[in-house]
Amino acid sequence: MCVKMMFVCRRIGLETGGKPVAIFNRKDAEDMGIRGLSRVKITYREKCVTAIVNLSEKMIPVGCVGISEEVVKKLKIKDGAKVNVEVAKFPSSLEYIKKKIKGRKLSYEEIFEIVKDVVEGNLTDMEIASFVIALETRGLDIEEAANMSLAMVETGEKLELRKKKIVDKHSIGGAIGDKTSLVAVPIIAAAGLTIPKTSSRAITSAAGTADRAEVLMPVELDVEEMREVVEKTNGCLIWGGALHLAPADDVFIQVEYPLSIDPLLLPSIMAKKKAVGSKFLVIDIPTGRGTKVKTIGDATLLAKDFMMIGKKLGMKVECAITEGENPIGRSIGPALEAKEALEVIMNRQNVPELVDKACHLAGILMEMVGMKNGYKKALRILKKGKAEKKLREIIEAQGGDPQILPEDIKIGKYWTDFVADRDGYILWMNGPNLVRIARAAGAPKYKGSGVLLFKKVGDRVKKGEPIFRAFSEHSRKLRDVKKLFEEELIVGIGDRREMLISHVKEEVEHKKTFILER
């Protein structure tokens, strides 16, 4: 028999991460036969919502139900209104999660139900975590990954464009100071291709593409605003988090990050590209020490998986395995990287690795749609100033200042140098520790904070000479930076043929680097 009771609503002024939550006095809960994390259906004026149950001894009086802001929004209800509450069944998606925990393959319909319930807030954090952990331990085959991508697309918004050759690029992350998109996207758009580039903010790095682009222009546009920019300029540089494209991924990331796992790397990337209508996609896979993918062999296997999923989704996918051990350019941090990219696109300075990578990725996309000599064409667009012109068009269309110059970009006014303790050559740089220093200085939250390299691997250095400078917008943060200077192995200096990297004299704490950027 279904238990149904009338309750008076109490707005508790609490947002619960997208999940509709109802809080009951324990006595009422006992009368209804419900407990914490049970589900109830709340009905108000023919509108209803399923909410997750929480319990309270004193916070909620008998006869009342506390409702989260998510419930208020869905029911459009006022404080003190009366609602009908009845016990609801647990979501069927829980049975499918249990199925995956047991190692069984899921169908598209089962995956869709799970993703839909994640987006609608019908699953608790514990239930979502169980699913993510099951994916990590049991794995997804290619068909499941493709179905996961489709489910993510169908439960979010989509971008519809009146364009034919829609292309895109994406990096799986891990390369230090990778401001490639700021150069490659204008090149691609200037070549006549359409590239609706959505990007992430930094999660574990010093700057995501959206953080860098935001130094030059607003990036929090909605789908309609994004469409207008792309229709006008052929390209954009937008923060994907404001678009509700594949919104389930934002929920999954909250579980993946603290656990240092990333089982949804492939489907989440492909979902977001499918959602903007991409037909041709190049995936950048940075490879080497300090990146997600350590060897060329592993990178090749990952590339194969991306291409197979792309085929199932009706997309042509090619992959670029790129060098990821050393910083790209000399800047790490949003403002420093945006400034360096702007200087390169204006042909004010040459950063060989940045130019080479941007032109290779742009060139691959050009050749995928039938153009010849893609790399040379991309380089010519850059050198003739067409990429700069296109970038300024995009900046203006997104609400930025199209006349912005590198010297207009503000860098943190507080700084400290890391200097060489001996003569020699830079044998290696610890990329993850450089990122830690940039983040300790305040990046990416404070965009003017970061690291500027004076020397790179292979350069000669003299004792006392600065190797890099850490900038911060707040002087107090430099204390944390200097502490890292003392505690961490950051740079190796020695003879060109020196074989000893480090001498470990005592047990040290191992700090595993986890990179989660989508």
Q: Is 28 considered catalytic here?
A: no
Burial class of 486 by CB neighbour count within 10 A (0 to 12, 13 to 18, 19+): exposed
Structure tokens at 319: 């992959």
331-332 and 450-453: which strand pairing?
antiparallel
Q: Which residues of 137-173 are buried (b: 16+ CB within 10 A; e: fewer)?
A: ebebeeebbbbbbbbbbbbbbebeeebebbbbbbbbb
Q: How far apart are CA 192 and CA 91, in angstroms?
A: 47
Backbone CA torsion sign across 68, 73, 75, 79: positive
Structure tokens at 362: 């742009």
CA distances from 439 to 344, 386, 434, 456 (A): 24, 34, 9, 20
CA distances from 383 to 184, 186, 337, 396, 419 (A): 13, 12, 20, 22, 35
Per the CB < 8 A criterion, the answer to whether 389 and 345 are in contact is no
Q: Which of 168, 211, 249, 262 is catalytic?
A: 262
Q: How far apart are CA 411 and CA 463, in angstroms?
A: 27
Structure tokens at 510: 């191992």
Residues acting as catalytic residues: 262
